[in-house]
Amino acid sequence: MLLKYIPLFLLVQLSIAAAKPLDPELLKSDDPVQQELVRQAKEETANLLNALFRSQIDYFTEVKTHLNPQTKRFQDINIYITRLNQAIAEKEMAKKDQLWFNIFEEFKESPLLLNREAETGLSDGEYKRILTGQKLNDISTRFITNVADYFWKIAKISGKVIDNGISIVNQS
């Protein structure tokens, strides 16, 4: 049914996994330029994660508007959105990463994208139309743009880190 959308959600997982904290050796540097670059990389990573969380919140909020508030799926989505908002609110990257892992573990067995009529109150066709509407296309496009922007910014920061390292070595 929705198998063609599974790669998108796997890409979300992969992107979040790629946005891990930096090498601890870089974090120990006394060089102010290096410290600023590390700060920028952390900030970009947090921005990416928050953008991904917001995209999922937007998507599932849209899905939820088509569901009866009494259904299990509506309640599952509310819990999911609450957890994503908690992850956005977290400022510390290690905790944000742990929250994401916890959210993924909690909901990986949840059929948020699968229709069980008793849980959604909708037929398969109705639920599919909701899940594959224009909102999904918009969020998918924004997601790909966010990930591309993130990797471009991190590549630029990495180049500056290398430049700075070479400068430090040449000054020694």
The count of other CB atoms within 10 Å of the CB of residue 73 is 24
Rounded Cα distance between 89 and 2, Å, is 31
Q: What does each C-alpha distance from 140 to 29, 51, 73, 113 come to in angstroms? A: 38, 12, 22, 15
State residue 80's pLDDT score: 93
State residue 165's pLDDT score: 67
State residue 169's pLDDT score: 60
How far does Cα 133 stand from its chain's mean position? Answer: 20
State residue 127's pLDDT score: 92
Low-confidence ranges of the chain (pLDDT < 50): 1-22, 26
For residue 146 the two structure tokens come to 């966010």
For residue 67 the two structure tokens come to 């569901």
Q: pTM for the full model?
A: 0.72
Over the chain, what is the mean pLDDT?
79
